[in-house]
Amino acid sequence: SYALTQPPSVSVSPGQTASITCSGNNLGDIYACWYQQKPGQSPVLVIYQDTKRPSGIPERFSGSNSGNTATLTISGTQAMDEADYYCQAWNSATVVFGGGTRLTVL
């Protein structure tokens, strides 16, 4: 079955750029989405179709997808961005989620 692999944790200093990767076989051939989940809250869609931001998501969130890797980039990271992030894709007519990455802003 298809698998998406994320690093368990990423750390970033406030104001710096955070990059969270998601790896899967030929992931660049399909669309990726990203979700943010803060403690005790439901996930929120932050990127869809590789690069698009839903209404209300700050411009500092951006995405890319090529080859075997999709990347979520947060520019000028703020303390409020500290959260778990999950990538998601469709493969063989089913949904696959990555294992999640905890972003720490310190």
Q: Which of 2, 17, 30, 18 is nearest to 98 (CA)?
A: 2
Work out the widest C-alpha separation in the chain, in whole angstroms.
Answer: 39
Which 30-89 positions form the footprint of another protein (CB under 8 A)? 30-33, 35, 42-45, 48-49, 52, 54, 86, 88-89
Of 15-23, 27-35, 73-81, the segment contacting another protein by CB under 8 A is 27-35
Residue nearer to another protein on the CB measure, 14 or 37: 37
Tokens representing 99 are 């294992």
Which residue among 1, 79, 80, 106 contacts another protein (CB under 8 A)?
A: 1
Are β-strands 9-12 and 101-105 bridged in parallel, bridged antiparallel, or unpaired? parallel
Cα 22 from chain centre: 7
Site residues for another protein per CB under 8 A: 1, 29-33, 35, 42-45, 48-49, 52, 54, 86, 88-90, 92-100
